[in-house]
Structure 1
Amino acid sequence: MALLLCGAAFAGELKLPDSPVGKRFAKFVEVFNAGERAGFVAFHKETASDAEASQRADQDVGAAKQTGGLKLHSVTKSDETYISVLAQTKSSGEWIQFEFEVAKEAPHDVTNIGVRPASAPKDAAK
């Protein structure tokens, strides 16, 4: 995995890799920050059955409401199918490491989402 030092923001937002996982993650974060169930269902229907998309959407809505959305800070690791991003929750300001993995083959189904606590980066606003 290539270690990327992508701390610089582009137009106020983190520039994500132009890769299958980067594109899917960008779309997921857009839907996540909107927090609407219909958006999650549509996102997951691209790669899953209606029932599975509905189940995934219910889980994601709960996480979106709990966090208030995400502010992306930096990409810590990335390749074609895996990305790890340091992010901050909008509701509490808690720092998290957000891991997102997709299938190698199109349409790049989400195969894993992981979240764990993280330390604030040195350049974080106090």
Structure 2
Amino acid sequence: MENKVKVVIGDRLGKGQNVAKGVEAAGGVAIVIPGVGADMKLGDVMNKENADFGISFCGSGGAGAVTANTKYKYPMEFGMRSIDAGVTAIREGKKVLGFGFMDVEELGRRLTEEYIKKNGR
């Protein structure tokens, strides 16, 4: 587990399990924060787990990402609505990615694959 990419997922509605499946399919380790309002805990869990990057989901696509950036200074991109936007953010070195609700396996898989392509592991 030490050599695998570690991704924290925080969803406002307590979801994220499909994204986690994609992270794991790409060879990463997914940590899904349980419960409603999980997006607001993203930065804290990323910091505690020493995560490589985190994904936040809420209606606006920004609250959890902005909170993680404010508290821990993680580079962020937020308000995203597509997988390609997330891939671009990973290429640009962002560590916190804020999306509208998109609990889809492809998102987790492609972001993790891009992270590995860019950073190794």
TM-score between both structures, scaled by the size of structure 1:
0.28
TM-score by length of 2: 0.29
Report 1 or 2 for greater relative contact order, CA contacts < 8 Å, sequence distance ≥ 6: 2
The structure number with the bigger radius of gyration is 1
Structure 1 or 2: larger helix share? Answer: 2
Select the structure that is richer in strand. 1
